[in-house]
Chain A
């Protein structure tokens, strides 16, 4: 997240995309350039802690209520099994929520770590802390930091469904790994020991491995690397994760040697196609396509690169390149679709189309001429016919 000089806060990538089009603040239209954007770490950490708490809250609120067969039958609270009256169905989830909040306060440390792990996992780039869509930013920017709302909106897979039967549905099985991940984190803190060198909590079974690396100086005690380690641990703690993912996560958490040169903004109209292609090649970007495509790619790359530099936990440039390719793919799709509809509407097929829909045309012509009769006393059918045909073709 970045803050502007006029006091508004946005997702770095979104606001950079906006500033590419016009150098004004999207919220208040004050003049704004990219050099006036500052990373806002406070918002980053607020969002991160909210995200970690939200999952627990949602779990508590969406947990299936015990079904009461008759009025007045006693029910159990979902989390602490205190008894409440059956009629008072609201007491169940709300009691649970309060309990969860209490527990959340106690577990902030471990859950935050677990969320760091979640937010940097490679298979959910959209919901991770680094990227927020413009609409959420709007919420944050325009409505006085209504973060809670913005973040609840971010929950794309949140469906407040009441699963009365309690039997596994797709939703339940999908939520389970996340839960185990959180539990895994708190379990890890139980049998953990402090590293004598860096005083970091490490699981007992991992302490030797940690010490080797710690003493070899491979781990600097700065927080970023720490989170990388605890991340690997929590992943290991949850045994139901596939192995391949562990490996990819560990690769991701290690500082990558693969770095690309920092791009600078260009004046594209002053560059020839070959010059632009050479610049893209120097930056390590794909050089296919015409000048227009290369320009769009360069613009997006500059935005992505700078936004990544702003992020709390920047990803490696390899991943960034992959995202660029995905972005380009998503851009190409609608264009392809448009091209297809255009080829379908070539003059050759018009005659065919006209023959196929002759009845429709006749009906339209009749309708048009009837309305024209109504509109004015003198009727000119030929005009009506040609007008309706013209409309049909342009429309």
Chain B
């Protein structure tokens, strides 16, 4: 798509110069459309984590017709969240039918971070998690906190960032 690479370059430039707080985006050397993202768990949420805090890995891919079609984003870190399944796929309207070319990598990642602080069990992707969330929210939040500690906090200290 004509002009699209220029937009991608601009977005990368802006992300580098003016990073989003709590989100690190690093591009892969040989592929301008593929990014590794490390997202901090939002505070006041079960994904915050103790100590260094929860840090979740994501991968982000910009398809050929970006920005006319949405980026593909997936969590690589295991999550206990009603809108994220065990493969890390994310149920978020702006990543599907509500996509608009006016959105950017930055806004998409901020939306995902917002999804972490406000899970939506009424539109679930992981049914078992959503059921748990609806029937016993306290236990669900506790599980989410435990998973965060296990996969997004302790995992980093055991095996430093790749």
Which residues of A are at the interface with B, using a C-beta cutoff of 8 A? 14, 17-18, 21, 24, 26-27, 29, 126, 131, 133-138, 141-142, 153-154, 156, 326-327, 330-331, 334
A331 touches B1 (CB 8 A): yes
Interface size on B, residues (CB 8 A): 19
Collect the chain B residues with CB atoms within 8 Å of residue A331's CB: 1-2
| Given A17-B68, A330-B1, A330-B2, A141:B102 Cβ within 8 A | yes
Report if B13 contacts A (CB, 8 A).
Answer: yes
- B160: chain A residues at CB < 8 Å are none
A residues within 8 A CB of B13? 153
Q: Does B100 contact A (CB under 8 A)?
A: yes
The chain B residue with its CB closest to the CB of A323 is B2
A21/B9 in contact, CB under 8 A: no
- Minimum distance in angstroms from B50 CB to a CB of chain A: 28
Interface residue from B1, B2, B9, B11 paired with A326 (Cβ < 8 Å):
B2
Contact B11 A135 (CB under 8 A): yes
**B residues adjacent to A (C-beta < 8 A):** 1-3, 6-7, 9-11, 13-14, 64, 67-68, 98, 100-104
What B residues does A17 contact at CB under 8 A? Answer: 68
Q: Does the CB pair B67–A134 fall under 8 Å? A: yes
Q: How far is A126 from B2 in the complex, measured between Cα atoms in Å?
A: 11
Please give, as numbers and ranges, the residues of chain B lying within 8 Å of A156 by CB-CB distance. 6, 9-10
- Shortest A293–chain B CB gap in Å is 15
Q: Which of B2, B13, B64, B103 has the most CB of A within 10 A?
A: B2
B7 contacts which chain A residues (CB < 8 A)? 133-135
Q: Which of B2, B7, B10, B102 has the most CB of A within 10 A?
A: B102
- With both beta carbons as reference points, the residue of chain B lying nearest to A127 in the complex is identified as B6
A153 to B15, CA, bound (A): 12
Bound Cα distance A330, B5 (Å):
11
Shortest beta-carbon distance from B40 to chain A in Å: 24
The 7 closest A-B pairs by CB, nearest first: A26-B102, A135-B7, A327-B2, A135-B10, A133-B7, A330-B2, A26-B100
* CB closest chain-B residue, reference A327: B2
Are B2 and A18 in contact (CB-based, < 8 A)?
A: no
Contact A133 B6 (CB under 8 A): yes
How near does chain A come to B79, taking the closest CB pair, in angstroms? Answer: 20
Looking at the complex, which one of B14, B102, B104 makes contact with A27 (CB distance below 8 Å)?
Answer: B102
- Looking at the assembled complex, report how far the CB atom of B35 sits from the nearest CB atom of chain A, in whole angstroms: 16
B67, B98, B103 — which one has the most chain A CB atoms within 10 A of its CB?
B67
Could you tell me if A18 and B101 are in contact, using CB atoms closer than 8 angstroms?
Answer: yes
Given A18-B101, A26-B102, A142-B102, verify A136-B10 contact (CB < 8 Å). yes
Determine the chain A residues whose CB is within 8 A of the CB of B3 once the complex forms. 14, 126, 131, 133-134
Contact indicator A135/B104 (Cβ below 8 Å): yes
Chain B residues within 8 Å of A24, by CB: 100
Contacting pair B2 A153 (CB below 8 A): no
Which of A29, A138, A153 lies at the interface centre, i.e. has the most chain B CB atoms within 10 A of its CB? A138
